[in-house]
Amino acid sequence: MKKVIKVGSRSSELALVQTQMVINEIKKFRQDFEFEIVKITTQGDALIDKPISEIGGKGVFVKEIESALLKGEIDMAVHSMKDMPYEIPEKLKLMAVLKREDPKDVFVSRNGTKFIDLKKGAKIGTSSLRRQVQLKALRPDIQIVPIRGNVRTRLKKMEELNLDGIVLSAAGLHRLGLESIITEYFPPDVVVPAPCQGILAVEIAESFDNIFQEFYPYIVDRRTFFEASVERELLKVFGVNCRQPFGAYAQYGRENDGEKIDIKVAYQKEDKLLKSEMTGLIVETDKMIEKLIKEFGGI
């Protein structure tokens, strides 16, 4: 008899698609497991009329799922890594999985107009403080309208609220097969993405680790692993949460002199948006982060 593994997931369309992606990848290599998806409603899903910064910050999409892991109600969970706080509960483990999807933010225009060409005072929908400050830096005249909800809810709100456009993650639209509605992609040096945007993560209880290690090698991607590690370290060092605008993107690459990482950071300090970019060897990551902090005048 095949072992049945219970996989926790948020109940949104995108979350279920992402969870199934991980399951499908495992099944390519290990047919001796069966998987059951357990849908879990989180605080962030239930309270969509308030900004995330007002209802608990980064953990609002994972606390109930982590509780189910600790109680043994599920064996593993699939998350969007960008939803994960740096610190996770004791007796749980978190790992980046699969190849990273496009990390960029995208603009979806109601009438096809590009962001820079929008009329003066255009209304743009986004509840992300990180996106808001970077968009306002590009176009100080725009009006920001906070909107939350799943992807299709936000698209519906764009029409209902008569918005000129909304900003979403490329990864979510790609995974839902909605690439055709994207008006333009923001380059990551123009709008620095959220740490780990486009990366999926699996979280498990330590008691499940022996079984998980049987198929983890099949679903880990080296480049994604490095990028997630650096971006989560930046999250830790800068000590930010959903109440403070912060973007971080680490791009891994290989050159003749070794493995390299290019780091882009956007950080708001005393109402001023600061940006910086550095490139160096993977082994020099800690030194690069120290230089970033000095460049920003401390944190």
Is position 242 annotated as part of the catalytic site?
yes
Catalytic residue among 82, 123, 232, 264: 82
> In one letter, which amino acid is 250?
A
Task: Give me the phi and psi of 124, to 5 degrees please.
Answer: -120, 130
Cα(158)–Cα(163) distance, rounded to whole angstroms? 5
- Alpha carbon separation from 194 to 58, 116, 277 (Å, rounded): 12, 21, 15
Is position 243 annotated as part of the catalytic site?
no
Catalytic residue among 10, 58, 100, 154: 154
Catalytic residue among 100, 104, 130, 232: 130
In the chain, the largest separation of any two C-alpha atoms, in whole Å, equals 64
User: Contact 281/254 with Cβ under 8 angstroms?
Assistant: no
Catalytic residue among 45, 75, 83, 164: 83
Catalytic residue among 104, 123, 148, 232: 148
Is position 175 annotated as part of the catalytic site?
no
Is position 130 annotated as part of the catalytic site?
yes
Task: Give me the phi and psi of 262, to 5 degrees please.
Answer: -105, 125
> In one letter, which amino acid is 255?
E
Q: Which helix (H) or strand (E) holds 252?
A: strand 246-255
- Alpha carbon separation from 74 to 46, 264, 287 (Å, rounded): 21, 36, 40
Catalytic residue among 10, 100, 131, 175: 131
Token pair 């909605």 is found at 178
Neighbours of 137 (CB within 10 A): 13
Contacts of 284-289 with C-beta under 8 Å, sequence gap 24+, read: 285/230, 285/233, 285/261, 288/261, 288/263, 289/233, 289/234, 289/237, 289/263
Is position 154 annotated as part of the catalytic site?
yes
Cα(261)–Cα(281) distance, rounded to whole angstroms? 6
Cα(64)–Cα(148) distance, rounded to whole angstroms? 19
Catalytic residue among 45, 242, 262, 264: 242
Is position 131 annotated as part of the catalytic site?
yes
For the annotated catalytic residues, the residue numbers are: 82-83, 130-131, 148, 154, 242
